[in-house]
């Protein structure tokens, strides 16, 4: 990571000279193949927030792999990131019938704590974050199919392989408020339903 100390040969800043605005650099590694990455990239294009730079990557393997990828990119120091995030769902990786899958989720959470990776987990899935753009749903949601049913009145032709960001832009700040109220006092992965994606979105969308 770049040094924070001024070199001996550099000139001191002139008193009263304006300070250059410092951008925060965020690394976001998503466990989904398309939906999450498409959403964050569209959010970048919409708001063009001059206070933050966001680089989005994907790793479609398990939560543990997503966390490890985020940690390795962050620790390499190549882009001098201020913080890194791992974004993934619970529904595919927390089935009590499969102890190995549940263990992988737990391992990912534990590794994130040790390696300074922030978690933006959605329980049961990322689509719950999208649903919050339209309504404040607090009832239990079994899985992706259950969330998809709740989304139908708002986005009848939802396709996770290619979302239309225009469907969601008017509700970004509402989703942030709704998700924040449910998530702030919870520990990862949070009670169903829950999503911590707002913690990234609030840094990208000015006004919140």
What residue segments make up the domains of the chain, in order of their start? Answer: 24-204
Q: Indicate the range of 54-68, 151-165, 178-192 predicted with least confidence.
A: 151-165
Residue 61 C-alpha from the chain's centroid = 16
Q: 8: pLDDT confidence band, cut at 50, 70 and 90?
A: very low
CA–CA gap between residue 58 and residue 28 (Å, rounded): 8
Read off the pLDDT of residues 65-95 as tens digits, 9 standing for 90 and up: 999 999 999 999 888 899 999 999 998 665 4
Read off the pLDDT of residues 97-137 as tens digits, 9 standing for 90 and up: 444 556 889 999 999 999 999 999 999 999 999 999 999 99
Question: What DSSP character marks residue 60?
Answer: -
How many residues are there in the chain?
Answer: 208
| pLDDT attached to residue 28 | 98
Residue 1: is its pLDDT beyond 50?
no
| pLDDT attached to residue 208 | 54
CA–CA gap between residue 121 and residue 194 (Å, rounded): 8
Considering the four listed CATH numbers 3.30.110, 1.10.238, 1.10.357, 3.40.50, the one that applies to the domain covering 24-204 is: 3.40.50
| pLDDT attached to residue 23 | 85
DSSP E strands, 102-205 = 118-123, 194-195
Residues forming a β-bridge with 27: 55, 84
CA angle 155, 59, 145 (to 5 degrees): 30
| pLDDT attached to residue 13 | 39
Question: By the 8 A CB rule, do 40 and 98 touch?
Answer: no
Q: Smallest Cα–Cα separation from 66: which of 99, 19, 33, 20?
A: 33
Q: 206: pLDDT confidence band, cut at 50, 70 and 90?
A: confident
């Amino acid at each position: 990571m770049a040094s924070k100390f001024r070199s001996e040969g550099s000139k001191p800043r002139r008193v009263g000279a304006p300070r250059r605005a410092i951008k925060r650099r965020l690394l976001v590694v998503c466990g989904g193949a398309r939906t999450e990455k498409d959403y964050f990239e569209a959010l970048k294009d919409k708001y063009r927030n001059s206070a933050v730079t966001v680089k989005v990557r994907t790793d479609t393997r398990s939560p543990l792999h997503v966390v490890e990828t985020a940690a390795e990119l962050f620790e390499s120091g190549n882009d001098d990131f201020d913080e890194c995030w791992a974004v993934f769902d619970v529904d595919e990786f927390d089935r009590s019938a499969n102890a190995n899958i549940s263990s992988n989720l737990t391992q990912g959470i534990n590794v994130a704590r040790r390696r300074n990776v922030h978690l933006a987990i959605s329980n049961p899935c990322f689509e719950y974050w999208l649903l919050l753009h339209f309504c404040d749903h607090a009832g239990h949601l079994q899985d992706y199919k259950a969330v998809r049913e709740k989304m139908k009145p708002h986005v009848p032709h939802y396709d996770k392989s290619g979302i239309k960001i225009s469907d969601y832009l008017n509700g970004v700040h509402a989703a942030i408020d709704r998700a924040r109220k449910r998530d702030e006092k919870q520990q990862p992965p949070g009670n169903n339903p829950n999503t911590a994606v707002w913690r990234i979105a609030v840094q990208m969308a000015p006004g919140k």
